[in-house]
Structure 1
């Protein structure tokens, strides 16, 4: 059984010629994008979109009556 503590090395064919990367500012969010992301986390998804439909259709199944 192999140890999971150390990953095997990446084969040379799978390595990028551009180097290992680094601290780039491309991943940073602007203030406007950060605010939009924060407000999207505050939404109640149980009442919106597909999640809302699923919740509506699966809640209180026992109270439905036959026609």
Structure 2
């Protein structure tokens, strides 16, 4: 279950139409689309942080790929 809390997101007028269009093309509400994009960004950030640890081949073959 998602933790729900009120949040206001201010989107610049110049990118709001692109977000709405991308959400429609993905078949998602704007909220669901923004959640998807935020989740992907957080996952990529975590991957970059792991990569910066220099573990390299230490994790090879562990079943997780970034």
Q: Normalising by structure 2, report the TM-score.
A: 0.25
Structure index of larger Rg? 1
Q: Is the helix fraction higher in 1 or 2?
A: 2
Higher RCO (C-alpha 8 Å, min separation 6): 2
Q: Normalising by structure 1, report the TM-score.
A: 0.25
